[in-house]
Amino acid sequence: MRILLSLILALALAAGVVWVAAGRAAAPAIEITQPGKLVGMDSTLEFTVAAPQGTLTRLEAVLEQGGKTTPLFSLDSPGDADVKQETPERMRVSRPLGKRSVPVLQAGEATVRVSATRSALFGVRSRAAEASRSFQARFTPPRAGVTSSHHFVNFGGAEMVVYRVTPADAQSGVQVGDLFYPGYPASGAGVAGADPSLRVAFFALLHDQDLNTPIYLTARDEAGNQSRSSFEYRVFPRMFRKSRIEITDAFLQRVLPEIVDHAPDLGATLDTPETYAEAFLKVNNDLRRANAELIRSVSAKTAPEFLWHGPFRPLGNASVEAGFADHRTYFYKGREIDQQVHLGYDLAVTVNIPVLAANDGKVLYADYLGIYGNTVILDHGMGIGSLYAHLSSIDVKAGDEVKKEQQLGRSGMTGLAGGDHLHFSMLLQGRPVTSVEWWDPHWIEDRIQRKLREAR
Ligand SMILES: [Zn+2]
């Protein structure tokens, strides 16, 4: 009898230990990854659930708003949800969450709640967990309207608008065809005391866009509500010069080895004269394109306020100003081999001249950059930048703050350069725009300062 009692006691004790241990098994881990803090017409609910070494017996998601609960998902009736078993222990569930798919959703505060239960001890015990996220449902698009007047866009050039957007946290700016130019708080452009809804955006009609490209103000909130508003502007066409460039073997033999050494990914080889001509085409096309992309990504680090003051310093030779967007045709041994657009101004005076900053700014890039050779890119804030190429030496480094007319380096012939010269370009969001405007005090006054004064 005593032995039997001890045995029962031992068994009961063992069962108790297992029971407690099963109770300590990890509860399901729920993580809600979407929505963010705003939900609109077409937002998404997305969450993951992990139940290590266990089976989910229940998984539910509901919407709670104004005391009402609406089912969104359950394991038994997944509806239009997308359920993915990501790992043996984790599944990801996503389904539409917005007015369009959940019509009961009203504008205002709401919560999604996800709850899960897993089994332990062969289903005798279970562990549950819950996660929730509160959000604002919003179905009205942000309101945006341009407040500045008289907008003149030169083909290949830039222009600026002052506008108001509410709510101020909407992403807003000017759309030119498929290119978006973000706006920045007007206070950063020197409009003292401007509330955050007053914004300034620079935009451009690029040399390779259509003259009739639609230009409008756009605003979009995190919930995906979007508005467009048009504003008055005039576009002035411009003819770009055509020029002919003769490529000689001597030129290729001088410039290519240096460029190709710096661009191992290009896959260009330099053995026979034929491979030189092929390498030139790779450099003039593939590398040129990769360089343009790098300039754009570097320029994305622009400051949200003006770093510059007054007109930009001209190159010092008015005759170079016709050089922007020259359409160049390249000839090799009398045969046309390529066409490109020259997106800057070339200044050749003598060799190794000091290259000076066109305005106050911050160095975004100071290094070798493919066809541009040794290059300095300055940020002047709000998407405005300037680029100095083919330098023989560089005197600044990325992150440096520079003053107008501070020396950045010396001119040279690194990269794809026919001789010692400075290649200069103004940039807007990393895309070349005509510099003449930025050199012109009248343009700076009419296009920028006047509008900022009126905004005050
Ligand atoms: Zn050039």
Q: What pLDDT was estimated at residue 55? A: 80
**Ligand 1 center–CA 175 separation, angstroms:** 29
Q: Which residues contact 417 (CB under 8 A, 6 or more apart)?
A: 255, 373, 389, 390, 423
- Radius of gyration (C-alpha) of the chain in whole angstroms: 31
**Ligand 1 center–CA 255 separation, angstroms:** 14
CATH architecture of 143-238: Sandwich (2.60)
**Ligand 1 center–CA 239 separation, angstroms:** 18
Its pTM stands at 0.83
Q: What pLDDT was estimated at residue 321? A: 44
Domain 27-137 belongs in CATH node 3.30.43.10: no
Three-state SS for 99?
coil
CATH architecture of 242-433: Distorted Sandwich (2.70)
**Ligand 1 center–CA 335 separation, angstroms:** 22
**Ligand 1 center–CA 337 separation, angstroms:** 19
First to last CA, the chain: 98
**Ligand 1 center–CA 282 separation, angstroms:** 18
Strand order in the sheet with 407-410: 354-356, 407-410, 393-394
**Ligand 1 center–CA 418 separation, angstroms:** 9
> 159 near 447, Cβ under 8 Å?
yes
**Ligand 1 center–CA 347 separation, angstroms:** 8
**Ligand 1 center–CA 430 separation, angstroms:** 16
Nearest alpha-carbon partner for 206 in 123, 292, 283: 292
**Ligand 1 center–CA 390 separation, angstroms:** 8
Q: What pLDDT was estimated at residue 317? A: 59
Q: What pLDDT was estimated at residue 146? A: 97
* Cα 310–chain centre separation: 28
- Cα-based distances in Å from 372 to 33, 39, 283, 412, 435: 43, 46, 11, 11, 17
Q: Residue 136: count other Cβ atoms within 10 Å of its Cβ.
A: 17
**Ligand 1 center–CA 290 separation, angstroms:** 17
Domain ranges of the chain: 27-137, 143-238, 242-433
**Ligand 1 center–CA 393 separation, angstroms:** 17
**Ligand 1 center–CA 445 separation, angstroms:** 28
Q: What's the CA dihedral at 159, 160, 166, 168 to 10 degrees?
A: 110
How far is 200 from 187, CA to CA, in rounded Å? 9
Residues in the chain with pLDDT values less than 70:
1, 15-24, 121-123, 316-322
**Ligand 1 center–CA 415 separation, angstroms:** 10
One fold for 27-137 and 242-433? no
**Ligand 1 center–CA 10 separation, angstroms:** 90
Q: What pLDDT was estimated at residue 322? A: 45
